[in-house]
Amino acid sequence: MSDIIKLLPDHVANQIAAGEVVQRPASIVKELMENAIDAHATKIELIIREAGKNLIQVVDNGSGMSDTDARLAFERHATSKINSTEDIFRIATKGFRGEALASIAAVAQVELKTKTKDAKTGTNIYIEGGGFQFQEPIQTAEGSNFLVKNLFYNVPARRKFLKNNNVEFRHIIDDFQRVALAHENIDFELFHNDDIIFRLRKASTLQRIVDIFGRKLQPLLVPIKEDLGWVKLNGFVAKPEGAKKVRGEQFLFVNGRFFRSAYFNKAVQDAFEGLLLPGYIATFFLFLELDPEKVDVNIHPQKTEVKFEDENLIFALIRSTIKKSLGIYNVAPSLDFERDTAIDAFVHKPNFGGAYRTPEITVDRNYNPFLEEKVSAGEKIAMTDIYQQSIPAEPSKINLFEDEDFDEDIMRLPNGYWLFNKNGKTLMLDLGRMHRLVVSQRNGGRKRSQEKQTLLFSLEYHMNEIEKHKFRSIKKYLPELGFDMIIANDNVLRIDAVPEGLKETQVMKFMEQLFEILEYTNEEDFLAFYDQQWLKLHSKSRFDFLYKSEAEQVIKDFTELGFPDFLPSGKRCFIEVPLDELKNKF
């Protein structure tokens, strides 16, 4: 039998390795920006064209590279960060494997211009598809200038799986934000197709958060700080008003490195227990600092998952510290953490005022709660009034249907669903979906208002840079929808008119929803997204229905539609509870 195992050519091996490191344009952005940080840059400029598919350029003023280092940097497993296996377990830099540049160069056309501080000239290197083309001396600024062009040009199967530009650019913004949040002492700039998206100057952590996510977040932020010696925790969480239904503003960092952790996310959610509406996710920016030897950052190619030596202790630290801060800032009921402990010591001092005495409790053993007390008629009336004011009456059950079986009760479950008896069957209802269908079918199924209402006083919506960029891309559609709005100054959007049916109190929330998720390729996609947000604004979720009278009204309206099983999207409005199967559980 002939031999069948062979060594892969270097360019093929590099392309395979690139699949782990370079998943999309954002992967390259992250690697190059982190390299600039490791080079001690104080200013980093990111230039993007066509969501990174045509160009990703990172310019920094860091230490730069010599001619030899610049050439070796593109070899696999070439690194200045580690010399032995032990070094892997005390990594203090962003990159260390020596795979990134080789992987990037294998699937793109890469040019590097770099110069060290003391060198008279710099060096210019060009590599295409992993193949070295040339290296020559060049006059260039101190630092490094990486240009990555035509990503996946030589791997068309990979290129066709890239998403549309809006999606890919969203991923780039995500990675840009993560790096910028962790390094507030560095200036950052982001350009996309010649438009300035971010211009961030060196600032405090709080100011960096505000510069990225907008001024409207600032009054909602609660500072978090704790130092246990072996681990430090600081950052900010947003008050419950800053929570959202979609993920995106949850940031965890360890030693300046962004990471994901469903376990630590749960610690934050646990700290907000009883404060958030169902389905809402807290907004937070948390920074951990501890000995690098207690953290393993080498368990994932993207280095976004890390392993902690004392994971349970850190979970408890996050949860308790946030709980304490929410209490101090009157967001949640709390023990008095501001209480002077000297007072407690003074109260329990043994020699103060004699020996410490246990409080005594006096009990009337002759008291009988079933004996009627003699009270005046006026006192009885007063007591009755107090009782009625203190306990709101549950709306009574109303038989809204002559043909429907409403003789038996309907009941709300703790998870927001309702049980309802219909034609001898017990149904579990999602009143939120039912209400959405009722709302969408009103006025002949018309979802959006076509009329405009001018506001007596203009409203101002403070946009962050991402929202400002999104506004430019959708503003041509807004006049037809009933909006009159312009960018009045800097990042302030002045709103002079809104669609009929949109209350002034709803405008800010609606704009926030409009900017929250915006990934569309044409006008049709945008209008579909707009209709979805409009419908959400005017319909309720299943958690909003608390009283039987509200539930019965939705059921009545839904019955007039024929009691359909599904929404147009295919989602169920109700299910039948299998009572016979439940009997077998007993």
Give per-residue pLDDT as tens, 306-338: 889 899 999 999 999 999 999 998 886 544 444
Residue 103, pLDDT above cutoff 70: yes
Q: Using CA atoms, how far apart are residues 246 and 421, in angstroms rounded to an integer?
A: 34
Q: Using CA atoms, how far apart are residues 209 and 182, in angstroms rounded to an integer?
A: 10
pLDDT for position 98: 53
Report residue 142 as tokens.
Answer: 């101190």
Report residue 248 as tokens.
Answer: 């995106």
Domains, the chain, with CATH or none: 10-200 (3.30.565.10), 211-328 (3.30.230.10), 394-586 (3.30.1370.100)
Sheet with 257-259, side-by-side order of all strands: 221-227, 231-238, 284-290, 250-254, 257-259
The amino acid sitting at 528 is A
Q: How confident is the model at residue 61 (pLDDT cuts 50, 70, 90)?
A: very high
* Mean pLDDT of the 285-312 span: 83
The amino acid sitting at 416 is G
pLDDT for position 124: 97
DSSP for residue 143: E
pLDDT for position 345: 36
- Of 185 and 1, the structure prediction assigns the larger pLDDT to 185
DSSP of 149-200, one letter per residue? ESTTTT-HHHHTTS--HHHHHHHHHHHHHHHHHH-TTSEEEEEETTEEEEEE
Residue 68, pLDDT above cutoff 70: yes
Report residue 264 as tokens.
Answer: 């630590």
Report residue 321 as tokens.
Answer: 């510290």
Percent of the chain's residues with pLDDT above 90: 43
Residue 391, pLDDT above cutoff 70: no
pLDDT for position 264: 95
Whose structure tokens read 């709803």?
506
| Cα end-to-end distance, the chain, whole Å | 65
Q: How confident is the model at residue 86 (pLDDT cuts 50, 70, 90)?
A: low
Give the orientation angle of helix 311-328 with respect to helix 262-271, to 10 degrees.
30
- In terms of DSSP bridges, do strands 221-227 and 231-238 run parallel, antiparallel, or are they unpaired? antiparallel
Report residue 415 as tokens.
Answer: 């998870």
* Least confident window among 9-13, 49-53, 369-373: 369-373
Q: Is 497 left (phi over 0), alpha (psi -120 to 50) or beta?
A: beta
For the stretch 436-458, pLDDT in tens is 888 877 755 555 666 888 998 99
Q: Are 429 and 575 in contact (CB under 8 A)?
A: no
